[in-house]
Structure 1
């Protein structure tokens, strides 16, 4: 323990020591310049003085505790300081720098007064050990507070952001969605684009897109992740698609942000069809498969003339008819698409005309056949 006479000598100078600590921190840690100005500066000076006073009480053995261990109030104060620093946006680097400077200056000033009070060299060495052990305990408490605050605030903000995406995807009233965005401090974009991708691709994609991107849980989406990317419309869509290339992701259309659900539903339908990439490149198939039962009935209806033929013949004539429709009757184009000789196309189309008769020249029949056969049967 430190002799009472030395403790008393140092205690007299504590206000000056606290001022020296604060001045050194301001001079050496630029991010604390504003923090120590005005009323906050006086509060911190008082806190420094109280912490040093608590140390002196421990060092003098007045509380009967290990002098290397700060008392509970000092630890709690350091913990709350760490939380406050996190809320102020300062890092633990700045905080630990302040502690190191505080330890150095405190030791310099207090040891000077201790020597003046007649403290022996041996006791002075022990005193130094106590000072730095005490500061280490306080800095550890502050780091814990800083870490806990970031974790807590991060979880709270994440929950608020999740509420936004939940409201967007479940059709909540617009005022509810706007209120959720305001509570989360989320800057409202012009558009949102739904992106469905595997969980393993979420982090790489998030590193490339807007930091305001929402991570969401899409209704009916069990084995993949959903991102709602802000303002990826116009020229920015190309950048998003480049980011998603070769990731097996599906990008819905950009929609006004309050209509993000429409983007998600199209992306989900595209994925359900086994497709990926840009949904804009799959519009025909999306339209043709919007009502699967109706499409199946239409196929059966327009292909009824082939019903009595053998399956192998039906398959060949159906693919020929589809190619003929898509190539607008150009025999060479049909032959190239089917990898057959033009004469084969001529023969097959002769069979089809016998089966359909004049209906192949009827615009309504051609339209029905085009819709029914416009996309390959899945």
Structure 2
């Protein structure tokens, strides 16, 4: 529905002052919003003045024909320009708060200049009130379009940046050449740190680690990982020492700190350790569990080795066999010091002597073979099934 336009003489007078209105509008924005002081200087400022003048001229053309700026399709070019302005502001890293402040300042200035013209031409108060409503509605639509452009640009650039970061994570896992990694990091707007540390976090607990992660941390895409026995998210973090101090979340696995371009080594170790830490277990620091990782690198091979080197004990009853195994393990770890072995097992030294006699009968001279001793040490190194009985309970 149309509305009564201003008299042609008034519209003509307003058009005649457009250059001055545009100049004063830009000056007001610079004064009210200091963030634009440098942006509006020189040739850029002149271009902005022309854009403001064109936008205000488009409004005057609409209202002089009786078109309603709220509904007229003729406003679309101005809206497109405002949308593009919002995109540009996002690329310049200016916030929507700054953008909207500029629109508010510009609207006040334009209305002040035009209302002076209308009053000079004795425009009736009711018609002037409607005109004011249309001015601010027009500016509101322009500002809304700019905010939409700003949001669109942020979403687009954020999505592109995220895709580049995912590509970077994939390349890091592949061990791509440094030149390729640096180029991808630049596209992702990611500054390479000195080191990275891989961390596996139980799926669903990612928010809990956000507080201790640096902004430069990367997330490894799920499809870049091999199948795992429990669902985890793998992150590449920039401050491994801080993680070890602050990360106290059940089920987390922390890898070794590595030069950033070689973080694939840290990821590989974390993935090997994922099975060793349940979702509700204490955090598993691979640097503090190297022995466990080495022994569990091939569980089947370890089981075969253990079966082979302990075969001489197969003829013994299970209870006797278990005691001989724990004695053999303690004897190896304490390098044959009988008193230390007895203390470790909470038994009398004579008990140790008796059991060692049994072991020598079963193994014969092979217990002096360095190769056999080495295999026994490896096979029994991870054995934690040692009896911890108080010495008062032993009467042998």
The two structures have a TM-score, normalised by structure 2, of 0.86
Deviation of residue 245 (structure 1)? Answer: 2.4
**What CA deviation, in whole Å up to 9, does each residue of 1:8-32 have, x standing for no partner?**
2211111111111111110111111
**What CA deviation, in whole Å up to 9, does each residue of 1:195-238 have, x standing for no partner?**
111233334434423322211124215521111123x3xxxx43
* 3-state SS, counterpart of residue 148 of structure 1: helix
- 2:121 equivalent in structure 1: 117
Deviation of residue 340 (structure 1)? Answer: 4.9
**Compared with structure 1, are the counterparts of its residues 29 and 341 closer, same or farther at alpha carbon in structure 2 (3 Å cutoff)?**
farther
**What CA deviation, in whole Å up to 9, does each residue of 1:121-178 have, x standing for no partner?**
1111111111111111111111111011001000001111111111121243444333
Deviation of residue 332 (structure 1)? Answer: 5.2
- 1:327 equivalent in structure 2: 334
- 1:271 equivalent in structure 2: 274
Matches within 5 A, 1:129-278: 129-217=133-221, 218-220=224-226, 223-230=231-238, 232=239, 237-274=240-277, 276-278=283-285
Q: For residues 358 and 259 of structure 1, what CA distance do their matches in structure 2 show?
A: 47
Q: For residues 181 and 70 of structure 2, what CA distance do their matches in structure 1 show?
A: 55
Contact kept, 8 Å, 1:81 with 1:142, in 2: the verdict is yes
Matches within 5 A, 1:348-359: 348-359=355-366
**Compared with structure 1, are the counterparts of its residues 140 and 353 closer, same or farther at alpha carbon in structure 2 (3 Å cutoff)?**
same
> Over aligned residues, Cα RMSD in angstroms?
2.4
* 3-state SS, counterpart of residue 44 of structure 1: helix
Deviation of residue 334 (structure 1)? Answer: 4.0
Q: For residues 365 and 226 of structure 1, what CA distance do their matches in structure 2 show?
A: 40
Deviation of residue 335 (structure 1)? Answer: 4.7
Q: For residues 208 and 116 of structure 1, what CA distance do their matches in structure 2 show?
A: 64
- 2:28 equivalent in structure 1: 24
Matches within 5 A, 1:14-163: 14-62=18-66, 64-67=67-70, 71-163=75-167
Q: For residues 322 and 87 of structure 1, what CA distance do their matches in structure 2 show?
A: 66
Stretch moving more, 328-337 or 164-173: 328-337
Contact kept, 8 Å, 2:212 with 2:247, in 1: the verdict is no
Report the count of equivalent residues. 372
Stretch moving more, 150-159 or 36-45: 36-45
Contact kept, 8 Å, 1:193 with 1:253, in 2: the verdict is yes
**What CA deviation, in whole Å up to 9, does each residue of 1:76-135 have, x standing for no partner?**
111110000000010001001011111111111111111111211111111111111111
Structure 1: gaps (5+ residues): none
Q: For residues 191 and 257 of structure 1, what CA distance do their matches in structure 2 show?
A: 4
Contact kept, 8 Å, 1:2 with 1:60, in 2: the verdict is yes
